[in-house]
Each structure stands twice: as C-alpha cells, then as structure tokens.
Amino acid sequence: MAKERKYKIIIAAGGTGGHIFPAIALAKKFTSHGHKVFIAGTGNELEKKIFSDHDIEIKYFKSTIKDFSSIKKFFLSFRKNKEIRSYIEKNDPDLILGMGGYASSEFCLSAERKACIIIHEQNSIAGRANRFLVINRRAKAAIEGLPGSFTWFNKFMMKSPDDIVYLGNPVRDDILNIEKKVRSFPDKLKKPRIFIMGGSQGARSINMNTPKAISLLMKSLPIEVIHDSGDNDFEAVKKQYLELGIDAKVTSFNSNIENAYEWADLLIGRAGAMTVSEASAIGLPSILIPFPYAIDNHQWFNAKFLENKGGALIIKDKDLKPEVLANKIHSVFNMEGKLESMSEAAFDMSFIAATENIVNFCYKIIEKHHIFHLNGDYPN
C-alpha cells in the first residue's frame, strides 16, 4: 500500500560523507518507488562535490549554528530556523527523515508537527541531537545504523518500544555490487594490497605514520598501496612515499571508493559509521584507528562492533606508531587463514538489506501517523 501512495519526503543530511552517502542511497530507493524526494543539505564543498554526481533534487540551507562550539550548537539547534520552517510549510512533506548531526536536527525541530519525523543514527552511540529528538518525542521513530545506538531510557521515552529498531546503515549500490574475492595468505607469489583511508578530518596520525609502517614491512613483505589522504595532507603523504622509495598510489579524494574496496585485501582507516558499515557489507578485513576526539568516543564503539566479531583489529590513536602498525599488518598476512577468517567475521547481511528495510520501516511509520497529517496535525 505504501508503495502505491506517493509521498513527499525530505531527507535532511549534511556536513560529512557519513550523513551524505546514506541519504543518497535512501533517496534513490524512495525515488524508485515513485515518491517525490528532496535532500536538504548545508551546501559545504564536500556536499556539492558528492551531490554533483547524482541526479537528486538538492536544496541547501545555511546553518545558523555552524560556527559555534559543540555544546553551543546543541542548545542553538533547538531554535527554529525561519528559512527551513518556510520551506517545510511550502512543500508540506509527509516525512522528514533526519540523518543525524546538527544540520539534521535544525530541520526536524523546525518542522514541529508538520510532518512525520523519523531519525536515523549512524553510529554505535547516538548523538546528542538525535537523543534529544527521541527523548522529547519530536521523532515518531528512530533507526539504529549500528546496534545499541540508543539506551533503554531512550527506548522507554518512545510511545512504543517498536519505534526504535536496528536496521543498519544504507550502503551504496556501487559498493554492494562489488564481487569481493578473498585472497589466501601467506603466499610469496602475491603482494598484499592495502587501502589506506586517511581523510582530511583528524586523521593526520594515520597519514603520517602509515607510509613509515609500509616501509618497515617492505623489507620482508612487498606490498601494494592505495592511500586516500584527503586534501590537507596530500602533498605531505606523496612526499613521504617518494622519499621512502615506495610506489604508492596517493589520492586526495577517491570518488570511486568501490574500486579500491574491491582491489584491497586490507583496509586501514578511522572508524566512522560508514567505514565500518561498508567493510561489513563486503567482508573487508580492517585495522581501525578510531578518532579519539569524536563526541562520546563513538568511533571507538563503532570499531568494537567489528573487533568483537573478529573482523577488525584496533589501534588506539595514542598508540599509533609505525612499528605498532607494521606488526599488526604483518600478523594479518603472516598467519595462515587469518585474512579469510577476518573477512568471514566482518561480513554482515544487515547492511546488504539496510536500504530496503529502512524505506519499508518508514512507510510503516508514515501509515501509522498519516491520518493525523490528513487532519492537519499530529498528536502530542
């Protein structure tokens, strides 16, 4: 029934790839069912770069809280944004799907009771803005991208315990369509392939230590490397590999990350929710170095999701040294069957079905509350 009805849907997402890419996957799925979908973003350069590759209707709104500290953002995000409020009234959406972050919360709070609001939390620990939307019942439902995002108290505050569900993070079709083959090691006839995701936000430790770790390994274990450094460290990373005599492919931003995933035997990077989810979707073994300053240390818990299953090894950022990383990499490729067992442990079917399951859950919640929308309001 939900697919037969045509809804207006606004997906509020912006700021980082962790919010943007899931929004794109969901927008494409909703659109394929014939619904009218808009993505609302903040208009930063990363968003414009990513969205330009997709045929999706985008509307950018200037954030009124962008340049404040995290604590001040939290309190300021409860104010109604007049521009957003006007846009919502004009378009009269059936659903606002908030993908987390303060840009998303501005949208959800400005909507008041004008639409069915559902939030999606990507990380293992729900962000402050999403927790607030659950606790004050602005959100009709919440979706966990990784299990255990919301506490028992958050669930208690919802009208029904079934309104908070774990459905996974949406992973792009380009990644889901990868034909991932796990190669066996140790094997002197093969060179291990390592994909390093440094990124530009808080990952200098990875960018600066990894080339030296690869250099240490090269003495006994020839390695092929793709290193996505981010813009900030691109020249410095290239220079390091050149000085160390390593023929590495260095990119600032890999727009075809699916090709690197398909090529790689091992991933090294931070533990953002989408990195963890994408590695899970294709069974890619990883060494994760969680960003230590993430709010509520959520990257550590994201990484533990994979480590607890045996799909990843973790190095704390403060412990990251070339020798430590080299030893971890060596242990993966030097132990018989280690890489294969990590791949099997990392793979999780939840992320294959996440996009489909999320849109169906959204239909269910819209239908549950749709009669109130037709009458012009929602109950408190």
For residues 372 and 200, which has the higher predicted lDDT (pLDDT)? 200
Please determine, for residue 103, whether its predicted confidence score (pLDDT) is greater than 80.
no
Spell out the domain ranges in the chain.
8-171+352-374, 175-350
Residue type, 282: I
For 365, other C-beta atoms within 10 Å of its C-beta total 22
The region of weakest confidence among 13-17, 62-66, 286-290 is 62-66
Where helices occur in 33-182 by DSSP H, the ranges are 45-51, 70-76, 82-91, 102-111, 128-135, 152-157, 173-176
Tokens encoding 62:
């200037």
Q: What number of other Cβ atoms are within 10 A of residue 323's Cβ?
A: 11
> Is the separation of the CB atoms in 255 and 53 below 8 Å?
yes
pLDDT band at 213 (very low <50, low <70, confident <90, very high): very high
Q: Per-residue pLDDT averaged across 25-34, rounded?
A: 94
What digits encode the pLDDT tens for the residues 71-96?
A: 555 555 556 677 888 888 888 899 99
Fold annotation for 8-171+352-374: Rossmann fold (3.40.50)
Higher pLDDT, 138 or 379: 138
CB atoms under 10 Å from CB of 230, counted, come to 21
pLDDT band for position 48 (cuts 50, 70, 90): confident
Averaged pLDDT of the chain = 86
Closest CA to 97 of 379, 378, 366: 366
Cα distance between residue 15 and residue 34, in whole Å: 27
Q: What angle do CA 206, 259, 241 make, to 5 degrees?
A: 35
Buried b (16+ CB within 10 A) or exposed e, 134-157: beeebbbbbbbbbeebbeeebeeb
Domain at 175-350, CATH class = alpha beta
The residues, ordered by sequence, that sit 6+ positions from 24 with a Cβ below 8 Å of its Cβ are 39, 50, 51, 54, 56, 172
- The model's pLDDT over 287-314, given as tens digits with 9 standing for 90+, comes to 999 999 888 899 999 999 999 999 999 9
Q: Can you tell me the distance from the alpha carbon of 30 to that of 45, in angstroms, rounded to the nearest whole number?
A: 25
Say how far apart CA 287 and CA 270 lie, in whole Å. Answer: 9
Confidence of residue 17 (pLDDT cuts 50, 70, 90): low
What's the whole-model pTM score?
0.88
Place 15 in a pLDDT band, splitting at 50, 70 and 90: low
The answer to whether the 8-171+352-374 and 175-350 domains have the same CATH topology is yes
